[in-house]
């Protein structure tokens, strides 16, 4: 596209042009995806350097919270100002946060800068999916989103590997600095090749709605982080947070009904595809990201492998995600049908969690590999497809908002699920260790274990060491069992997901809705 004024019905991009643009988008996706996993293997070293063990979980939670909270805001702003500028803004914010996180001198600074990173990371995920929705027709979109799914899957393995390598060989600070050259290259690529239409319309940003949804998510997340660990479930603090979260959600709905430019238009929920996809996204994120995140810890604690090797042992999970994501995308492009994939994917997820609940101290690795592969296929068949279904159903003017909303619900599910299942693991581990009766040495080892230092177990007497491993596995067993009913509920919602014919024209070529052909003029960014 040229830099002159264009009508909405611009010429569609060629396959080669899409692939060139996709290269920059995949770099942005890689940045955000890596940062969700690369920190995990470095946490023990970070705590040893900066201190603040009791605040350890917030190094991860701060990123998840801020990235979740800003996702709807990015979607709305991109609908008003254009995707490209918001995408590049998100990269810059992410890079600034990365540089500052690497310079952190104490845990408080690191948590704050991780939150800043999350503000950029939330925009990267939302904008990549929205831009794909702009430039690729729904009928063709499956295969391209499959590539993005493969990037996300690869990051789940290479993140821990890179984190372990950089921490061991250079410094933990380089897990943040490594983002800088990748991000700068992504900026260069997108500036050169990404040409997208931008609307010129009057706008009013719903800052109040954004603040309310952020506060509501924060309150809900604090309940799952603190419940049963910092505060008793029936404590005044947790009850107050629960009430506050409900009130904030109610107030958010009221504000959105009155706002001239709501950050999350409630009319979207009248679209059954959008509402069902958002629900599936939340449940899948809650169950999957909340439970599977503990597999690396299992590998390190029970199998006694290094952080780097634990990442390699997760490759079957990645292969499953790639097969499910790329395979479903190719088939959707050929047949033009998408509904069957979330159904089959949710069934695979449910079966995968049951299989993972069977893992014991002495389970053969080939069995674990099969369990992880089944779970990965379930994820690959589900996550990308519900985004495609949503983008195919909504009008172009709501493309960014709707895409960001589905991403928001999935990320929120993952954030709440991570803390929820982490809470279950800690509580069950404490219970099982008390039953073990191994004394103070076992208790201290468990504290070090949950703080990210499983190597301390090697110093224990063999009987106590074995007892702690059994206690950990029994606790993890409960985590996966709790995930099963959530995945099963996703099957029900997948069954009621409407199937609409996939459009064969991209949004920038006038393929959103018939009345979109009369949309305002656009100017290429």
**pLDDT reading at 348 higher than 90:** yes
Residue 250 CA, chain-centre distance (Å), reads 25
Query: pTM for the full model?
Result: 0.72
Structure-model confidence comparison of residues 184 and 414, the more confident one: 184
Q: Which of 123-137, 212-226, 252-266, 360-374 comes out lowest in average pLDDT? A: 123-137
CATH topology of domain 5-206+259-524: Growth Hormone; Chain: A; (1.20.1250)
Task: Please give the order of strands across the beta sheet that includes 522-524.
Answer: 5-6, 522-524, 197-199
Give DSSP secondary structure letters for 158-191. Answer: HHHHHHHHHHHHT-TTHHHHTHHHHHHHHHHHHH
pLDDT at position 370 is: 93
Structure-model confidence comparison of residues 351 and 436, the more confident one: 351
Residue 509 CA, chain-centre distance (Å), reads 30
What is each CA distance from 443 to 110, 225, 431, in whole angstroms?
Answer: 28, 21, 11
- How many Å apart are CA 439 and CA 54, to the nearest integer? 22
Structure-model confidence comparison of residues 200 and 385, the more confident one: 385
- pLDDT, average across residues 498-510: 60
- pLDDT, average across residues 220-234: 74
Structure-model confidence comparison of residues 389 and 398, the more confident one: 389
pLDDT at position 308 is: 67
**pLDDT reading at 1 higher than 50:** no
What pLDDT, in 10s, does the model give residues 459-503?
666 777 777 778 888 888 888 888 888 888 889 998 988 877 765
**pLDDT reading at 301 higher than 50:** yes
pLDDT at position 96 is: 93
Residues comprising the chain, all counted:
525
Write down the domain spans for the chain: 5-206+259-524, 207-258
What pLDDT, in 10s, does the model give residues 415-447?
777 777 877 877 787 777 777 665 455 555 555
Classify burial at 233, counting beta carbons within 10 Å of its beta carbon; exposed 0-12, middle 13-18, buried 19 or more: middle
Residue with tokens 């985004």: 387
- How many Å apart are CA 282 and CA 420, to the nearest integer? 14
What pLDDT, in 10s, does the model give residues 229-288?
677 777 888 889 889 989 998 998 898 888 777 777 888 888 888 888 888 888 887 877
C-alpha distance across the termini of the chain, in Å? 9
Contact by Cβ (8 Å): 342, 385: yes
pLDDT at position 520 is: 32
């Amino acid at each position: 596209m040229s830099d002159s004024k264009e009508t909405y019905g611009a010429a569609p991009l060629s396959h080669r042009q899409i692939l060139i643009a996709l290269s920059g988008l995949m770099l942005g996706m890689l940045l955000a995806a890596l940062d969700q996993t690369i920190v995990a293997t470095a946490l023990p070293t970070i705590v040893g350097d900066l201190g603040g063990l009791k605040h350890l979980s917030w190094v991860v939670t701060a990123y998840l919270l801020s990235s979740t909270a800003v996702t709807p805001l990015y979607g709305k702003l991109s609908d008003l100002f254009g995707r490209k500028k918001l995408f590049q803004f998100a990269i810059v914010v992410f890079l600034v946060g990365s540089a500052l996180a690497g310079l952190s001198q104490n845990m408080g600074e690191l948590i704050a800068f991780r939150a800043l990173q999350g503000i950029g990371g939330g925009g990267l995920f939302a904008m990549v999916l929205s831009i794909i929705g702009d430039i690729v027709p729904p009928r063709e979109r499956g295969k391209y989103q499959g590539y993005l799914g493969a990037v996300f899957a690869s990051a789940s393995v290479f993140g821990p590997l890179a984190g372990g390598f950089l921490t061991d060989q250079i410094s933990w600070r380089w897990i943040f600095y490594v983002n800088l050259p990748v991000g700068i290259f992504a900026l260069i690529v997108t500036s050169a090749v990404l040409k997208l239409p931008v609307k010129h319309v009057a706008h009013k940003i719903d800052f109040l709605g954004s603040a309310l949804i952020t506060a509501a998510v924060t309150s809900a997340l604090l309940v799952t982080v603190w419940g049963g660990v910092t505060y008793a479930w029936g404590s005044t603090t947790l009850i107050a947070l629960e009430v506050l979260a409900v009130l904030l959600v109610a107030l958010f709905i009221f504000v959105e009904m009155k706002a001239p430019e709501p950050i999350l238009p409630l009319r979207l929920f009248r679209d059954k595809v959008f509402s069902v996809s958002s629900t599936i996204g939340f449940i899948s994120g809650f169950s999957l990201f909340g439970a599977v995140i503990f597999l690396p810890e299992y590998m390190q604690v029970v199998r006694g492998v290094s952080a780097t090797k634990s990442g390699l042992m997760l490759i079957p999970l990645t292969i499953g995600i790639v097969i499910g994501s790329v395979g479903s995308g190719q088939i959707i492009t050929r047949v033009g049908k998408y509904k069957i994939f979330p159904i089959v994917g949710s069934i695979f997820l449910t079966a995968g969690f049951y299989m993972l609940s069977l893992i014991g101290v002495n389970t053969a690795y080939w069995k674990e590999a099969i369990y992880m592969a089944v779970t990965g296929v379930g994820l690959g068949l589900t996550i990308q497809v519900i985004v495609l279904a949503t983008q195919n159903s909504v009008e172009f003017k709501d493309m960014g908002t709707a895409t960001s909303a589905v991403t928001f619900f999935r990320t929120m599910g993952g954030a709440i699920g991570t803390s929820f299942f982490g809470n279950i693991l800690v509580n069950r581990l404490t219970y099982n260790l008390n039953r073990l009766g191994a004394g103070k040495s076992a208790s201290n080892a468990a504290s070090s274990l949950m703080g990210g230092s499983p190597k301390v177990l090697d110093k224990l007497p063999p009987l106590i060491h074995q007892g702690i491993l059994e206690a950990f596995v029994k606790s993890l067993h409960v985590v996966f069992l709790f995930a099963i009913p959530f995945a099963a509920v996703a099957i029900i919602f997948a069954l009621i997901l409407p199937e609409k014919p996939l459009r064969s024209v991209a949004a920038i070529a006038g393929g959103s809705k018939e009345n979109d052909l009369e949309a305002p003029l656009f100017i290429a960014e």
